[in-house]
Amino acid sequence: MFFSFLLTAALALGSAQPTVSVPAVAAHAPAVGPLEPCKIFGSVYLETDPARRGYCHGTVYVEPEEAFADVLVFKESNKLFADKAGLWADAPARDFADYVLLVVTDRSRADFSIHYTKVRSFAGCKN
């Protein structure tokens, strides 16, 4: 009992510095800023339901003509090979994707446009 009294007194009289802890949510917050289509690669999930727009990183329009597209996309069969811009692997679900993009039917409502190419070396940004 005497030792617990001494321990309590030592803790009360000690000059402990207050520590400020960073919340886990703030430490892992995603970067806020515009979506750069030339930096998108890896697994991509294309969402078609407009009600889930809040869960998407951006909006995309699938351009039928290659000349008007911002990014030429080559579909990779394996995520490990989708390692540069324009190489996308289809994600089986939204939770497993690196990027979730909402597909819109109106080009004016899209952040950028894509066109699927059959040649891997043509994939990438057109800028």
pLDDT in the model for residue 55? 92
pLDDT in the model for residue 7? 74
Record the tokens describing residue 71, joined without a space.
């990014």
- Residue 115, strand partner residues: 72
Instruction: Please return the burial class of 38, using the count of CB atoms within 10 Å of its CB with bins 0-12, 13-18 and 19+.
Output: middle
Pairing of strands 42-47, 99-103: parallel
Which residues, 6 or more positions from 120, have their beta carbon under 8 angstroms from its beta carbon? 74, 87
pLDDT in the model for residue 27? 45
Question: 70 and 112 in contact (C-beta within 8 Å)?
Answer: yes
Which residue in 74, 81, 66, 75 sits closest to 113, CA to CA?
A: 66
pLDDT in the model for residue 32? 56
Taking the C-alpha atoms of residue 41 and residue 85, their distance in angstroms, rounded to an integer, is 5
Helix ranges (H only) for 1-127 are 2-13, 24-27
pTM over 0.95? The answer is: no
Render each residue's pLDDT in the chain as its tens digit; 127 residues.
Answer: 777 877 777 777 776 555 555 555 444 445 556 789 999 999 999 999 999 999 999 999 999 999 999 999 999 999 999 999 999 999 999 999 999 999 999 999 999 999 999 999 999 997 6
Record the tokens describing residue 29, joined without a space.
């917050």
